[in-house]
Structure 1
Amino acid sequence: MSTTGASAGPPPGSRTGSDREDPLAALGSLPGVADSVESVRKAVDRVYGHRIMRRRSNEITSEAALRGARGSAALSGADWALEEVRRRTDFSGDAEARAMGAALRLTAEAGQLLSIWRQSPLRVLARLHLVAAAHGAEQVGRPRQAGETADEPLLDGLPLPSPAEVSARLDGLSELIIAGGAAPALVTAAVVHGELLALRPFVSHNGLVARAAERIVLVGSGLDPKSVCPAEAGHAELGRTAYRAAFDGYLSGTPEGMAAWIAHCGKAVELGARESTAVCEALQRGAA
């Protein structure tokens, strides 16, 4: 489903037979995936069941957004302390500052795009890239074209799919999202995240956009409707090495590799939920 270069498999939505109706649902039956889905559900339920969530959920959402942005930026090379992110007001300086600013803008924008995602995911992706890039160059807000490259240091060395392949696979992914289906939210979010990383459809900010899209799926699906379980923070806690290793599993397209990537994304959501649980506990103690 997700390999690149000469060995690329068919894009999402291009399967035949009964798989064509809901190809993502089959991923839910891979070994270990059901356990990951259940573990995520329990972690999310613990946050939503906390007494602080009933009175101060807006504060938890705001804090989760900040921590999620910080985590996503860390994976893109801007590994700042949380207090530094709170303190700074200018994110227009060096490359790290710009990456952090892009992550913060994307986190704020993602919540405004939930109603559009299920009808026009490609429009949402274009908007996310426009927000991340924050300037009017002609490459912004559209998939890269022939002769253009993608800047994503964490994925240096990986073959870059051609613009034609990018277009076909984005169309397939869009069709799956619009059609909906029975796949668990974690599975859909992991595939959206992995597919966008694999394609690197834009000239820049692909990792940030992929993680913002994962957030949109998790929130829009109803798994995390208040956006208090920042998977981006969990991905950062697991580390860049583990992130890349799990993503290599997605690229392999094997059942084992896909299951490992989904499990990794599930663990990230659980860690994000744990962060918000800790924030709830701090608020309850009057320490924050």
Structure 2
Amino acid sequence: MHVDPLAPLLDLADVAPAFAEARNTVDAAMRHRALRRHGGQVAAEASLRAAVASAALEGSTYDLEEVRGGTVTDPTVQGALRVAESLGGLVDLWPRAPRQVLAKLHVLAARGVVHDHDLGRLVSGAERIDALSALVAGNEETPPLLLAAIVHAELITLRPFAGPAGVVARAAARLTLIGRGFDPRGLVGVEAGHLEREPEYVGSAGAYATGTPDGVRSWLRHYASAVTAGAQQIAVIGDGVLAAV
């Protein structure tokens, strides 16, 4: 029997209830009637909003409608859009070859931002990336929401790639949620939840980096809140799709 190395984190105060609330909110969101016939449109809009939010968290903030209209040429925004478009093709590879996927995500995210020589190349933290890859590869024991939160936290605090490493971190977490069946259709825009709570996002990531139980607890509670907010966006998007048809 395999033992989940992250299981003790669910015993930190208020973490399990926060994760349960996030799960319940996602389950409720998945029952929105727009998903019955217009699921593809909802998924496309959620992906666009997630990419715009992820770029904004890297300092490249643009109006959603401008990005939708194709007038924004900012390389970080374009990279976030490329990453969002690529996720479906990387879901199966992620648990088999995490390091390869991380390098691919960085190539997509950082093209035009960093020198071509640096695309896909680690600039720090090789040992921790090895440990994270070992944690991701074939892990069926850790609950997907917890695993995604730790993947995100490790990458966002380590920033092992040059340039928009945060885009890579958020994409890797999304791949975890999709691949492990928490959000199989890729509808939950967790990135929008992080942006909505940006000061908390930054602060809790810094707290996580301290390695203390309270710091890790702060991050996990934030992550659950961001997932909850991202799930709530599904109804907003779904209502908009229904109103347009």
TM-score range, shorter chain: over 0.9
* TM-score, normalised via structure 2 length: 0.94
Count of residue pairs brought into register by the alignment: 243
Which residue of 131, 154, 165 corresponds with 1:195? 154
Cα contact 2:98–2:136 (8 A) shared by 1: yes
Matches within 5 A, 1:1-288: 21-89=3-71, 91=73, 97-134=74-111, 137-144=116-123, 163=124, 166-239=125-198, 241-284=199-242, 286-287=243-244
Tell me by how many angstroms 1:283 deviates: 2.7
- Which consecutive residues of structure 1, in runs of 5 or more, have no partner in the other structure? 1-17, 92-96, 145-162
Q: Distance in 1 between matches of 2:236 and 2:157?
A: 33
Aligned-CA RMSD value: 1.8
Distance 1:203 1:283, change over 3 A: closer
Tell me by how many angstroms 1:254 deviates: 1.4
Q: Distance in 1 between matches of 2:132 and 2:27?
A: 29
3-state SS of 1:180 partner: coil
Distance 1:198 1:255, change over 3 A: same
Identity between Structure 1 and Structure 2 (%): 39
Q: Distance in 2 between matches of 1:193 and 1:184?
A: 14
Letter in 1 for 2:218: A
Cα contact 1:230–1:272 (8 A) shared by 2: yes
Tell me by how many angstroms 1:220 deviates: 0.9
Tell me by how many angstroms 1:102 deviates: 0.9
Cα contact 2:157–2:206 (8 A) shared by 1: no
Cα contact 1:47–1:53 (8 A) shared by 2: no
Cα contact 1:185–1:221 (8 A) shared by 2: yes
Larger Rg, first or second structure (1 or 2): 1
Tell me by how many angstroms 1:59 deviates: 0.6
Cα contact 2:152–2:170 (8 A) shared by 1: yes
Q: Distance in 2 between matches of 1:222 and 1:205?
A: 27
Cα contact 2:188–2:231 (8 A) shared by 1: yes
* TM-score, normalised via structure 1 length: 0.80
